[in-house]
Structure 1
Amino acid sequence: MLNVGKIEEGFVLDHIQAGMAMSIYHHLQLDKLDCTVAIIKNARSDKMGKKDILKVECDVNMLDLDVLGFIDHNITVNVIKNGDIVEKKELKLPKQIKNVIHC
């Protein structure tokens, strides 16, 4: 069993379609931020068979998560403060997003 420690402040993106974690990492531009990110690929899931998970330790106001609603509205966003889940955000398709997918 893989054990990734809890984070104090940030968010956990759960129920990501298996194999999509790196795409979401880039769409959220996490590579440009100075924050800790744990990427778990192909984790076992009773609900999905396999899933990816992203744990991001940073100020929760640093990121615009609207892009996730465009990519996959089934992703679960758990907001973490002081090591505890304080909010579960429900994703929906945003009215407008810019500079996400380039042709």
Structure 2
Amino acid sequence: MSASHVISIILTLIFALVVIFPRFRSGGSAFYWGAWPDAGERLQRQLNSESYSSINEYLDSNIVLAKICRSKFKNLRYSFSLLIFACITHAILLSMG
């Protein structure tokens, strides 16, 4: 029981830290900071030509950010579930001893 308590606390901390740290996804949108500086060069080329479409860039950016958010919230759900498990095992350990 004690080992499962320690493991659940360690995993809770790991998943919570994964939520906090920034994520990088390949997407290439000029409005997504993780795609820079390459996206800046591409944006400059598009601005110099007639084919620039900011709506497509916003769409690409939203798709990339949505993937990051889904991943972060999945890790946050794991973190809270493990925290609840850690609290339950802590209460069991306290009642046993």
TM-score by length of structure 1 reads 0.19
Comparing both structures, which one devotes a greater share of its residues to strand? 1
Which of 1 and 2 has greater Rg?
A: 2
Comparing both structures, which one devotes a greater share of its residues to helix? 2
TM-score by length of structure 2 reads 0.20
Q: Which has the higher contact order (CA 8 A, sep 6+)?
A: 2
